[in-house]
Amino acid sequence: MSKQPEKKTKPVSYQYDAIIIGTGPGGEGTAMKLSKNNKKVAVIERHKSVGGGCVHWGTIPSKALRHSVSRYIEYKANPLFSLNERSSRLTFPDILGHASSVIADQSNMRSGFYDRNRVDLYKGNASFVDQHTIDVKRPDGTSDRITAKTIVIATGSRPYRPPEVDFTHSRIYDSDTILGLEHDPQRVLIYGAGVIGCEYASIFKGLGAKVDLVNTRDRLLAFMDAEISDSLSYHFWNSGIVIRHNEEFERIETREDCVVMHLKSGKRVQVDCILFANGRTGNTDTLNLEAVGLKADGRGQLRVNEMYQTDIDNIYAVGDVIGYPSLASAAYDQGRIAADAITTGNCDEKLIKDIPAGIYTIPEMSSVGKTEQELTAAKIPYEVGRAQFKHLARAQIAGTQVGSLKILFHTETKEVLGVHCFGERASEIVHIGQAIMEQKGEGNTIDYFVNTTFNYPTMAEAYRVAALNGLNRMFK
């Protein structure tokens, strides 16, 4: 009996090596790295232009608004200028124009990235057919069906909307829809005192509105170093923002000319509009995850391993849709790491240990490394070096004297363990400390700031002042 020849399995042919759903920082980082690795890549974007929530509703617009308000505050406070308050007052719609131009510039620039790297862009809503096939439904009702060996979910997140709140009312907003605010509210209530809530509290207060900030917890931004978050609390209080800690809403009463929030404590607050900024939800509900056997958690987020691989081995997820740290900068790096894992089958690269936090309130807050509370709990011996901005020539020249820099370092090795900053340009200043913390051996000690020469006058000089302050406190 002759032996039958073995049948050869025909290799599966896909249109693309990878499909990325979403063009925010996570999707962009993945797509660019895969393209550079000579992979054939497609991206899907459901909105009219690329950039995701980061460019269109989140990071870019809120920071552009914050910049305009900050400059407005500086202008009014500068004794060189004599302003008529009535004629000089800015409104929220006034400053939206600047934000809109920045959004357009950012989106156009990022669109060019995809063009130059020969990444195919599909416009429409994506949903899974199977683990290698995506259906893209265009706005006109037609659809494309595309296939790939690997699929990356980078769909981001959106503001959480409690079902009992009527977001169709013209005076109730979330952090996305607030960018469509057309009137000039005199009193604003912000529900949720996280990063987004605190940033918008600064913006509205800077425009002259009365602001009530309702915090469901007992302090602002508890993940930050206590002294830094306390500085923000004091600055808010001193500027006239009413912070209501440990409060939760019971119901919202809507009227034609105002809205009233009824709190569980029995308080009632009447305002011109409400910004609801209490949590976010991953954008996974329209992806038809059931078709591939994936299940998101109660917050719409997906579970991944260290290579950003989901429970389905050819499907990856990056960015806000996987939760912490939910930062645009981290999402981009996650995308690049996932792309390396997709290309090589393995990736030893990880996100850096100490991810900096930048909070764009007025003034800014920024932090990297351990807080005093964490070091104390871990029984790590440390000392503190401080520099007050009011003592720096550059801050005096610029008129931005509110704030300080704090360096935490080990009392025995002098290793820099944490850097915390409150004040104008804090999110820029903190990176000097971060760079030193990332060094190995003796290069990451407090001595660096004493032995180097800084430009004068600069805000960076705060590091030398803080280092000398800390070393002078050392036990002799």
Say which CATH number the domain at 460 has. 3.30.390.30
Strands 315-317 and 41-45: unpaired
Please report the pLDDT score of residue 236 as a whole number. Answer: 97
Q: Which residues contact 58 (CB under 8 A, 6 or more apart)?
A: 175, 328
Indicate whether 305 and 218 sit together in one domain. Answer: no
- Beta carbons of 200 and 178 less than 8 angstroms apart: yes
Q: How far is CA 384 from the centre of its chain?
A: 28
Please report the pLDDT score of residue 12 as a whole number. Answer: 75
Give CA–CA dist 127/287, Å, rounded.
4
- Beta carbons of 56 and 47 less than 8 angstroms apart: yes
Is there a domain that residue 167 lies in? no
Average pLDDT value for residue range 391-398: 93
pLDDT at 2 over 60: no
- Beta carbons of 59 and 106 less than 8 angstroms apart: no
Average pLDDT value for residue range 270-291: 96
Indicate whether 74 and 27 sit together in one domain. Answer: yes
Q: Give the three-class secondary structure for 48.
A: coil
pLDDT at 151 over 70: yes
Number of domains forming the structure of the chain: 3
Mean pLDDT, the chain, whole residue set: 93
Indicate whether 143 and 214 sit together in one domain. Answer: no
Q: How far is CA 386 from the centre of its chain?
A: 27
Q: Give the three-class secondary structure for 231.
A: helix
Is there a domain that residue 164 lies in? no
Q: Which residues contact 20 (CB under 8 A, 6 or more apart)?
A: 27, 30, 31, 34, 41, 42, 43, 44, 151, 152, 154
pLDDT at 290 over 50: yes
pLDDT at 254 over 60: yes
Average pLDDT value for residue range 440-462: 92
Closest CA relative to residue 282, chosen from 301, 263, 254: 301
* Torsion angle of C-alpha atoms 254, 259, 263, 266, degrees rounded to 10: -90
Is there a domain that residue 220 lies in? yes
Confidence of residue 360 (pLDDT cuts 50, 70, 90): very high
Please report the pLDDT score of residue 8 as a whole number. Answer: 52
pLDDT at 313 over 80: yes
Average pLDDT value for residue range 275-284: 96
Average pLDDT value for residue range 189-215: 97
Please report the pLDDT score of residue 102 as a whole number. Answer: 93
Please report the pLDDT score of residue 172 as a whole number. Answer: 97
Please report the pLDDT score of residue 347 as a whole number. Answer: 84
Please report the pLDDT score of residue 22 as a whole number. Answer: 97
Indicate whether 144 and 203 sit together in one domain. Answer: no
User: Cβ atoms within 10 A of the Cβ of 455, count?
Assistant: 9
Indicate whether 229 and 323 sit together in one domain. Answer: no
Min mean pLDDT across 143-152, 192-201, 395-404 is at: 395-404
pLDDT at 414 over 60: yes
Please report the pLDDT score of residue 287 as a whole number. Answer: 98
Please report the pLDDT score of residue 1 as a whole number. Answer: 44
Is there a domain that residue 459 lies in? yes
- Among 278, 309, 326, the domain-final residue is 278
Percent of the chain whose pLDDT exceeds 70: 96
Q: Which residues contact 116 (CB under 8 A, 6 or more apart)?
A: none
Confidence of residue 368 (pLDDT cuts 50, 70, 90): very high
Average pLDDT value for residue range 213-217: 97
- Among 344, 372, 394, the domain-final residue is 344
Average pLDDT value for residue range 200-208: 96
Q: Which residues of 84-111 are buried (b: 16+ CB within 10 A; e: fewer)?
A: eeeeeebebeebbeebeebbeebbeebb
Average pLDDT value for residue range 375-403: 95
Domain that includes residue 464, residue range: 363-472
Q: What is the 3-state secondary structure (H, E, C) of 282-341?
A: ECCCCCCHHHHCCCCCCCCCCCCCCCCECCCCCEEECHHHHCCCCCHHHHHHHHHHHHHH
Indicate whether 318 and 374 sit together in one domain. Answer: no
pLDDT at 217 over 70: yes
Give CA–CA dist 329/352, Å, rounded.
11
Min mean pLDDT across 197-211, 296-310, 343-357, 385-399 is at: 343-357
Percent of the chain whose pLDDT exceeds 90: 85
pLDDT digits (tens, 9 = 90+) for 84-110: 554 567 889 889 888 999 999 999 999
pLDDT at 308 over 90: yes
Average pLDDT value for residue range 108-125: 95
Is there a domain that residue 351 lies in? no
Say which CATH number the domain at 333 has. 3.50.50.60
Indicate whether 274 and 286 sit together in one domain. Answer: no
Confidence of residue 80 (pLDDT cuts 50, 70, 90): confident
